[in-house]
Amino acid sequence: AWDAAVASVDAHTLVLLFGMMMLAAYLRLSGFFGLVVERSIALARTPISLLAVIIVASGVLSALFVNDVVCLVLAPLVLQVTKRLRLPPVPYLLALATAANVGSVATVTGNPQNMLVASFSGIGYRQFLLREGPIAVIGLACVFAVVWLTYRRELRTTMAPHAIESVTVHYPLMTKTLVVVAVMLVAF
């Protein structure tokens, strides 16, 4: 039974999952995600536009990186943003979690299940994206609609005035990591 269990583990998927987690960790250390948050706050003029920004950012990042990592990295940042803007955190955290799951559908690197499917089926990254990407986009629109309809009263509040906070960014580390991410995406 033990030998069968060990034999059923797909090493390619584990290596890819580990690599994605490492890249996300380096981006976090470089200040990339903090920069994304500050840009998101700058773009958002209303609670509803902030909801849209969080859904798009979470969905896109989850398509590129493992969705669990995106949730772990972005959840504290979303809490920080909602506290700073004096907004209720629950709609935004639910949007983050659901958009991360939906966005992860788009690519091979989005979640471990997709990695297994691609590994066993031989489907390439581009082909996977072309088939699943439109589904993810429709799903993200549905996430926005459901969260907005469910929390429309809470989302009608006004945001507290906000100033852009300075984020500590280590540009050499961020640049190197983004180059590795780009090479990885091209290699797929």
Give the whole-angstrom CA distance, residue 55 versus residue 46. Answer: 14
- Token pair for 98: 């659901």
Which of 17-21, 48-52, 116-120, 128-132 is predicted with the least confidence, judged by mean pLDDT?
17-21
Residue 88 lies in a domain: yes
pTM of the prediction? Answer: 0.79
With a cut of 80, say whether residue 17 has pLDDT above it.
Answer: no
Give the whole-angstrom CA distance, residue 165 versus residue 60. Answer: 24
Residue 97 lies in a domain: yes
Residue 3 lies in a domain: no
- Token pair for 165: 């906070």
With a cut of 90, say whether residue 147 has pLDDT above it.
Answer: yes
The residue range of the domain holding 60 is 14-187
Q: What is the pLDDT of residue 130?
A: 96
Residue 145 lies in a domain: yes
Residue 7 lies in a domain: no
Residue 5 lies in a domain: no
Count of domains forming the chain: 1
**Tens digits of residue pLDDT in 26-65:** 988 999 888 877 887 788 889 999 999 999 999 999 998 8
Residue 8 lies in a domain: no
Residue 1 lies in a domain: no
